[in-house]
Amino acid sequence: MTRNILFVALMASTMAFPALAGEFTLTSPDIAEGQHLNNYFVFQGFGCEGGNMAPTLEWSGAPKGTESFAVTVYDPDAPTGSGWWHWFAFNIPADITSLPAGDAINGVQLTNDYGTEGFGGACPPPGKVHRYQFTVHALSTTLDIDNSVSNALAGFMVNANSLASSTITAVYNR
């Protein structure tokens, strides 16, 4: 009986380790889940007056087989019918595990929905609180696309090749 209990305990602990090992996690000293964005991360223009800087992003626990990363910032609450892409960067090398504040990256950046390449800060219409989903994706490959593609096509390619992702959802309203 004791040997059976020991065996079950050993099997249970062995099966738990894969779930604990390699948990892919996104963190930031600048933003937090459910917290209001600082003015540094607000767009400069469209009636907003902010620093238009991307926050520092750090990630760990990328799954085995990760060849590159993609970082996106998306507002699903924008009154467009399709949300608002604030940032879409991909082909970030697998040995990179953080991006400093700003939007300089070693990778490809797409044109955001403001019409500029790189990061574009929060700037919702006055009133309703908007969610800003900062997501990092661990990809099984580098993407064979360039900065001329749409955010939708890049999103398709990222989702088709994603091994794992982690998101911090911050909020902002004015």
Instruction: Decide: helix, strand or coil at residue 12.
Output: helix
Of 27, 168, 154, nearest to 97 by C-alpha is 27
Question: What SS3 state is found at 17?
Answer: helix
* Structure confidence by residue, pLDDT tens digits, 27-64: 999 999 999 999 999 999 999 999 999 999 999 999 99
Q: Given this model, what pLDDT does residue 153 score?
A: 97
Across the strands, what pairs with 90? 108
- What phi and psi, each to the nearest 5 degrees, are found at residue 154? -60, -40
> Where do the DSSP E strands lie in 8-149?
25-27, 44-45, 48-49, 57-60, 68-75, 84-93, 98-99, 108-109, 130-139
Tokens linked to 98: 């953080």
Query: Shortest CA distance to 51 belongs to which of 62, 60, 59, 42?
Result: 42
pLDDT digits (tens, 9 = 90+) for 6-32: 333 333 333 333 334 459 999 999 999
CATH no., domain 23-172: 3.90.280.10
